[in-house]
Amino acid sequence: MRSPFLKVSGLYKSFTMHHRGGIVLPVLQNVSFDLFAGECLSLVGPSGSGKSTVARCIYGNYRVDAGEILIRTGGDPDLVSLPNAHPYQIRQLRENFIGYVSQFLRAIPRTPTLDVVMEPLLRRGLDKNSASQHARVVLRRLGIWERLWSLPPATFSGGEQQRINLARGFAPAYPILVLDEPTASLDKPNRNTVIELIQEALAAGTAVIEICHDEEVRAVTATRSLDLARKNDTPRELTH
């Protein structure tokens, strides 16, 4: 019996609105799912249902109120509890096991684009030459051409920045990849490239969680969906 790469159980998360008299807003209530190698779980639901909150909890950006997030690392221990992990462990998980593509690029100002994409590859142990070659391939596939590689991403358009974000996420081939609106700012040719990258990652055994309002993209990438508007829902299989 195969084991999941990611196991989420009874996840609860609320936010306290201190500027509004301490109102507590419950966002996640009893969210549970397993994620296996080669699967793409699509988180669906209206705005405010908690899709991005789930993504940020899995990446360790948000501390959960209750519940468990277990990451299978294949090391010692085999399963790491993210809510109970030391900050150093969370950093190691991000470097080696969990990639996260947000809707917004956050990069050090004035850092060249090629270095931005190479950085996670170098952290995973690739030598500089191999990291550079791999980053160049992904950048070309996403339509970021060589004349731009020496420029900082802050000077680029929103769509170009999103493609650099995607290059950073896909290049290291993480076991788990979280995609938050990966095609939101892209034209059709680049959207099709992202679909190809997702499908290739799944074929290679990556476990993907996607948040995507583009129904055409979901239809050809997702293998299961979880509707967060139904608080006690369970993932349902999708057929293409």
Model confidence pLDDT, tens digit, residues 92-148: 999 999 999 988 777 777 899 999 999 999 999 999 999 999 999 999 999 999 999
Q: Which residues pair with 72 in a beta bridge?
A: 79
Residue 10 forms part of a structural domain: no
Tell me, yes or no, whether 15 lies in a domain.
Answer: no
Residue range 139-159: average pLDDT?
93
Q: Which ranges of 69-187 would DSSP assign to H, the alpha helix?
A: 87-96, 113-123, 128-141, 158-170
Could you give the percent of the chain with pLDDT greater than 90?
A: 77
Structure tokens at 42: 């699509």
Structural domain boundaries enclosing 184: 37-50+87-237
User: Which residues are CB-neighbours of 5 under 8 A, at least 6 positions away?
Assistant: 35, 36, 37, 71, 72, 175, 176, 207
105 located within any domain: yes
H or E segment and range at residue 66: strand 66-72
- Higher pLDDT: 215 or 238? It is 215
Longest dimension (CA), the chain: 55
Read off the pLDDT band of 1 (50, 70, 90). low
Residue 57 lies in a domain: no
Domain containing residue 217: CATH number: 3.40.50.300
Residue 137: both structure tokens together? 């391939």
pLDDT band of 240, cuts 50, 70, 90: very low
pLDDT band at 76 (very low <50, low <70, confident <90, very high): low
Identify the three-state secondary structure at position 86.
coil
Whether 226 contacts 199, CB under 8 Å: no
Looking at the 3D structure of the chain, how many domains does it have? 1
Q: Is 16 among the domain residues?
A: no
Name which of 165, 184, 237 is nearest 47 in CA terms: 184
Q: How confident is the model at residue 239 (pLDDT cuts 50, 70, 90)?
A: very low
Specify if 77 maps to a domain: no
Backbone angles phi, psi at 128, to 5 degrees: -60, -40
Strands in 153-212 per DSSP E: 176-180, 207-211
Residue 14 placed within a domain:
no
Specify if 26 maps to a domain.
no
